[in-house]
Amino acid sequence: MAFDKIDITFKEKLILESNDQLDKCEIAYETYGKLNKNKSNVILVCHALTGDQFCSGVHPSTNKKGWWDILVGPGKVIDTNFFFVICSNVIGGCQGSTGPSSINPKNGKQYNLDFPVITIKDMVEAQVRLIDALGIEKLFAVIGGSMGGMQALVWGALFKNRVNAIVPIATSYRHSAQNIAFHEIGRQSIMADPNWNKGLYNEFNVKPSRGLAVARMIAHITYLSEYGLQKKFGRNLQFSSSLSYRFDIDFQIESYLKYQGRTFVDRFDANSYLYITKAMDYFDLSNRRGGLSNLFKNNDATFCFFSFTSDWLFPTAETKTIIKSLNSSAASVSFVEIKTDNGHDSFLLKEPEFHKILKGFLSGLTKKLGL
Catalytic residues: 146, 311, 344
61-100 residues near other proteins, rule: CB under 8 A: none
- Residue whose CB is less far from other proteins, 81 or 328: 328
User: Which of 104, 202, 260, 363 contacts other proteins by CB under 8 A?
Assistant: 363
User: Which of 14, 214, 257, 304 contacts other proteins by CB under 8 A?
Assistant: 304
Number of residues that bind other proteins (CB under 8 A): 27
In this structure, the dihedral spanned by the alpha carbons of residues 44, 48, 54 and 59, taken in order and rounded to 10 degrees, is: -170
Report in angstroms how near the CB of residue 337 gets to other proteins at its nearest: 5
Report in angstroms how near the CB of residue 69 gets to other proteins at its nearest: 22
Does position 334 interact with other proteins (CB under 8 A)? The reply is yes
What is the rounded CA–CA span in Å between residue 3 and residue 369?
Answer: 34
Does position 283 interact with other proteins (CB under 8 A)? The reply is no
User: Which of 69, 132, 197, 364 contacts other proteins by CB under 8 A?
Assistant: 364
User: Which of 69, 132, 284, 337 contacts other proteins by CB under 8 A?
Assistant: 337
- Judged by CB under 8 A, the stretch of 45-53, 135-143, 235-243, 331-339 that binds other proteins is 331-339
Residue 336 vs residues 46, 222, 242, 264, 323: alpha-carbon distances, Å: 19, 22, 45, 31, 11
What is the rounded CA–CA span in Å between residue 335 and residue 323?
Answer: 8
- Residue whose CB is less far from other proteins, 98 or 346: 346
- Residue whose CB is less far from other proteins, 31 or 309: 309
- Judged by CB under 8 A, the stretch of 52-60, 81-89, 327-335, 344-352 that binds other proteins is 327-335
Q: Please name the residues in contact with 115: beta carbons below 8 A apart, sequence gap of 6 or more.
A: 92, 99, 100, 102, 104, 271, 275
* AA letter at 162: R
- Residue whose CB is less far from other proteins, 165 or 274: 165
User: Which of 328, 349, 350, 369 contacts other proteins by CB under 8 A?
Assistant: 328
Residue 138 vs residues 44, 141, 142: alpha-carbon distances, Å: 11, 9, 10
CB distance 226 to 239 below 8 Å: no
User: Which of 7, 291, 353, 369 contacts other proteins by CB under 8 A?
Assistant: 353
Report in angstroms how near the CB of residue 331 gets to other proteins at its nearest: 10
- Residue whose CB is less far from other proteins, 232 or 359: 359
Does position 368 interact with other proteins (CB under 8 A)? The reply is yes
What is the rounded CA–CA span in Å between residue 226 and residue 237?
Answer: 18
* Crossing angle for the helix pair 147-158 and 120-133, to the nearest 10 degrees: 70
Does position 371 interact with other proteins (CB under 8 A)? The reply is no
Among 274, 271, 257, 263, which Cα is nearest to 207's? 271
What is the rounded CA–CA span in Å between residue 309 and residue 313?
Answer: 11
Question: By CB neighbour count within 10 A (0-12 exposed, 13-18 middle, 19+ buried), where does 273 fall?
Answer: buried
- Residue whose CB is less far from other proteins, 135 or 370: 370
Report in angstroms how near the CB of residue 324 gets to other proteins at its nearest: 5
Question: By CB neighbour count within 10 A (0-12 exposed, 13-18 middle, 19+ buried), where does 76 fall?
Answer: middle
In this structure, the dihedral spanned by the alpha carbons of residues 12, 16, 18 and 22, taken in order and rounded to 10 degrees, is: -60
Binding-site ranges for other proteins (CB under 8 A): 302, 304, 323-324, 327-330, 332-339, 353, 356-357, 359-361, 363-365, 367-368
